[in-house]
């Protein structure tokens, strides 16, 4: 559609990359409402610094840049620009400190070399590593940094604090498969770790990966008007993702083990920040590690990338247990993001406030739910008490009060708000066309939206322009005005994840989806670690059910190298499976090795090639198996989000 005519007087003053008068006013108001600056966070973020390497730069074996802090030099200015919320700017500056830090005697952290921290504990004869970061390359560089400043000892144990990728993906940068296989290194994790670590990245992995681009702003430029932080740290490196299966699981709510002379009390915290997670208390060292349940931000109860909704009530309860059991005997509290807190009074206050933060949001959301308020209504009116709002670490640099309230609502009442008019609403493309018609057409909508933009009503402008873009996606004026509104919302956002989402949405409205930037792919280790059952579940979600509705296929599937047998049944467009064989005769038998399947999962070969090379043997009616393969869907990791 051609551009609509407009007069110069009707055009709003939109300059991409610059804050509007309304945004400047919003930033000034936010600055007035922030807690008083006491510089204690900066002192603690710098405390114990030992050394680093220039810009924390990490390259892979092919000299490709994996990680660098050089692009964040603009954060050296202590005063926030008008394009960034002043609290988020402060957090981004604190997250920019990088290097090796001493936490307390025998406990060290490498911070600023990845989204998460690597914790290194000096045992009697070797090193215990908690969370080897996201990638092989950053983990290897972090260990090398430690060894450049401390006596060389072998790694004797690796502990995964929980099942999120940035806490285990670099394991092969610090130990090898052979060292673990030979019993030289123990890999310790909370019960359920493998199931949760893999499931989050398999069934919904494609959708989650695309959405994470908006959460972390991975494809945005690093600048004062673009990506400045992720709230928890800077960003996710583009290195090699690895995984080694645990050799020891913590199964009881509280377990004590002595590892290389270091006594560790493990506290399981399932269904908190991750479905499989745990805290650690070190009695000898008077130190408490809260994994990712007690960090310097209001965390996510459901991240923007998507995940199972986290239990705010349990989250608070676990922090309460740590507070009661361990804090009276601790001198320092630290986590796998951000920086530690020292001193009995400060760590007590910190944990009390973090505990009450999640409990307040949970209880008040449920209270308002029981008054009949919807998630949107509760999110709009929820405010933290002054005692919590006055703390820097309770602010929403990563999660927010708004979307955490909606997560709690979803946990109890699902997506449906109870209003029947929302029960079967039209999808965006159909609704958009009707909105445009009802509002008097595109030109009338644009004219009204421009006036609202000038008044700083960016939330409404973004909402209205979204309808117009979904009705007329090629209308340039709608895309530009929607992008401008999202950009100003990003500049004003205290949450890094909101900022990144708004700014990437604005860029994609202006420029379309970025198809050039290489994103992190599923690692070979994770693909090969999938259980047989998880593979069949993944195969099932790739079946195009309507395309397969006329097919009936019974398969007896055997992995020759493991001896495991499975029965698969495709019927009514749904693929089901169970261990064993069909009671009735199968249509086709599949014989292959698990090793061949692993090569298929990692993209080294495909089913067709493996059959042609006789790596897969089909007997019976092979045409039925091929017909099933013909119904498999493929996923793009660059699907549209802000347009049809």
Among 412, 439, 454, identify where a domain stops.
Answer: 412
Whether residue 382 sits in one domain with residue 462: no
Q: Is residue 13 part of a domain?
A: no
pLDDT at 458: 98
Q: Give CA angle at 574 (571, 579), nearest 5°.
A: 85
* Alpha carbon distance 268, 191 (integer Å): 8
Q: Is residue 349 part of a domain?
A: yes
Whether residue 317 sits in one domain with residue 239: yes
pLDDT digits (tens, 9 = 90+) for 352-376: 999 999 999 999 999 999 999 999 9
Among 484, 511, 538, identify where a domain stops.
Answer: 511
Among 479, 511, 543, identify where a domain stops.
Answer: 511
Whether residue 573 sits in one domain with residue 428: no
* Alpha carbon distance 317, 5 (integer Å): 60
Mean pLDDT over 503-527 rounds to 84
Whether residue 390 sits in one domain with residue 266: yes
Q: Is residue 80 part of a domain?
A: yes
User: Which CATH number goes with the domain that contains 608?
Assistant: 3.30.1050.10
Q: Is residue 644 part of a domain?
A: no
Domain of 328, in residue numbers: 34-412
pLDDT at 636: 85
Whether residue 596 sits in one domain with residue 494: no
- Residues contacting residue 602 through CB under 8 Å, at least 6 positions apart: 524, 527, 528
Q: How many domains does the chain have?
A: 3
Query: Which region, left, alpha or beta, applies to residue 118 given φ > 0 means left and ψ of -120 to 50 means alpha?
Result: beta
Question: What percent of the chain stands above pLDDT 90?
Answer: 91
Q: Give CA angle at 574 (570, 576), nearest 5°.
A: 65
Q: Is residue 2 part of a domain?
A: no
Whether residue 403 sits in one domain with residue 362: yes
Whether residue 453 sits in one domain with residue 556: no
pLDDT digits (tens, 9 = 90+) for 607-617: 999 999 999 99
- What's the whole-number average pLDDT of the chain? 94
Q: CB of 464 within 8 A of CB of 436?
A: no
Give the confidence band of 9 by pLDDT, cuts at 50, 70, 90. very low
User: Which CATH number goes with the domain that contains 492?
Assistant: 1.25.40.880
Give the confidence band of 203 by pLDDT, cuts at 50, 70, 90. confident
Q: Is residue 277 part of a domain?
A: yes
pLDDT digits (tens, 9 = 90+) for 479-495: 999 999 999 999 999 99
Report whether pLDDT(177) > 60.
yes
Q: Are strands 155-159 and 254-259 parallel, antiparallel or unpaired?
A: unpaired
Q: Is residue 441 part of a domain?
A: yes
Give the confidence band of 518 by pLDDT, cuts at 50, 70, 90. low
Whether residue 154 sits in one domain with residue 129: yes
Whether residue 472 sits in one domain with residue 407: no
Report whether pLDDT(323) > 80.
yes
Whether residue 471 sits in one domain with residue 592: no
pLDDT at 639: 86
pLDDT at 30: 97
pLDDT at 4: 38
pLDDT digits (tens, 9 = 90+) for 232-285: 999 999 999 999 999 999 999 999 999 999 999 999 999 999 999 999 999 999
Q: CB of 162 within 8 A of CB of 192?
A: no
Q: Is residue 29 part of a domain?
A: no
Report whether pLDDT(2) > 50.
no
Whether residue 429 sits in one domain with residue 399: no
Whether residue 207 sits in one domain with residue 169: yes
């Amino acid at each position: 559609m051609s551009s609509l005519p407009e007069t110069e007087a009707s055009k709003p003053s939109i300059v991409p990359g610059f804050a509007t008068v309304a945004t400047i006013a919003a930033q000034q108001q936010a600055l007035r409402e922030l807690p008083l600056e006491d510089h204690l966070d900066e002192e603690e973020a710098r405390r114990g610094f030992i050394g680093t390497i220039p810009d924390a730069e990490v390259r892979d074996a092919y000299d490709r840049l994996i990680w660098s802090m050089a692009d964040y030099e603009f954060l050296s200015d202590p005063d926030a620009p008008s394009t960034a919320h002043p609290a988020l700017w402060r957090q981004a500056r604190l997250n920019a400190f990088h290097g090796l830090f001493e936490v307390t005697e025998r406990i060290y952290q490498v911070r600023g070399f990845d989204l998460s921290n690597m914790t290194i504990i000096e045992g009697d004869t070797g090193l215990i590593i908690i969370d080897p970061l996201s990638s092989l390359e950053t983990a290897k560089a972090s260990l090398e940094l430690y060894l450049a400043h401390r006596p060389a000892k072998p790694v004797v144990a690796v502990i995964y604090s929980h099942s999120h990728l940035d806490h285990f993906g670099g394991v092969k940068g610090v130990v090898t498969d052979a060292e673990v296989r030979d019993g030289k290194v123990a890999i310790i994790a909370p019960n359920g770790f493998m199931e949760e670590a893999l499931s989050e990245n398999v069934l919904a992995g494609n959708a989650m990966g695309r959405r994470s681009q908006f959460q972390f702003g991975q494809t945005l430029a690093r600048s004062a008007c673009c990506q400045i932080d992720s709230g928890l740290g800077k960003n996710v490196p583009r290195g090699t993702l690895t995984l080694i299966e645990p050799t020891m699981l913590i199964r009881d709510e509280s377990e004590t083990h002595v590892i290389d002379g270091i006594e560790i009390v493990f506290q399981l915290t399932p269904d908190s920040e991750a479905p499989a997670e745990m805290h650690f208390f070190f009695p000898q060292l008077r130190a408490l590690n809260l994994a990712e349940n007690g960090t310097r931000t209001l965390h996510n109860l459901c991240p923007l990338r998507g995940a199972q909704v986290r239990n705010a009530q349990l989250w608070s309860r676990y922090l309460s247990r740590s507070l009661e059991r361990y804090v009276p005997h601790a001198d320092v509290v630290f986590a796998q993001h951000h920086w530690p807190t020292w001193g009995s009074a400060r760590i007590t206050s910190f944990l009390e406030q973090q505990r009450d933060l999640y409990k307040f949001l949970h209880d008040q959301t449920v209270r308002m739910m029981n008054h009949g308020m919807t998630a949107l209504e509760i999110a709009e009116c929820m405010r933290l008490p002054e005692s919590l709002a006055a703390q820097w670490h309770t602010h929403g640099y990563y999660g927010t009060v708004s979307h955490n309230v909606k997560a709690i609502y979803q946990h109890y009442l699902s997506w449906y708000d109870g209003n029947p008019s929302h029960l079967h609403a039209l999808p965006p493309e159909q609704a958009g066309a009707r909105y445009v018609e009802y509002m008097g057409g595109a030109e009338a909508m644009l004219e009204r939206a421009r006036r609202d933009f000038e008044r700083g009503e960016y939330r409404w402008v973004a909402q209205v322009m979204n309808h117009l873009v979904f009705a007329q996606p090629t209308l340039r004026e709608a895309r530009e005005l929607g992008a401008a509104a999202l950009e100003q919302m990003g500049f004003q956002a205290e949450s890094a994840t909101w900022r990144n989402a708004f700014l990437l949405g604005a860029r994609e409205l202006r420029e379309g989806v970025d198809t050039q930037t290489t994103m992190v792919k599923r690692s070979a280790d994770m693909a090969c670690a999938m259980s047989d059952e998880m593979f069949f579940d993944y195969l099932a979600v790739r079946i195009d059910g309507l395309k397969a509705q006329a097919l009936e296929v019974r398969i007896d599937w055997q992995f020759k190298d493991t001896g495991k047998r499975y029965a698969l049944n495709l019927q009514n467009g749904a693929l089901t499976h169970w261990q064993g064989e069909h009671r009735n005769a199968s249509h086709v038998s599949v014989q292959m090795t698990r090793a061949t399947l692993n090569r298929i999962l990692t993209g080294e070969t495909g089913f067709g090639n493996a059959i042609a090379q006789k790596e897969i043997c089909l007997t019976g009616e092979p045409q039925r198996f091929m017909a099933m393969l013909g119904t498999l869907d493929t996923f793009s990791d660059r699907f549209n989000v802000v347009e049809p």
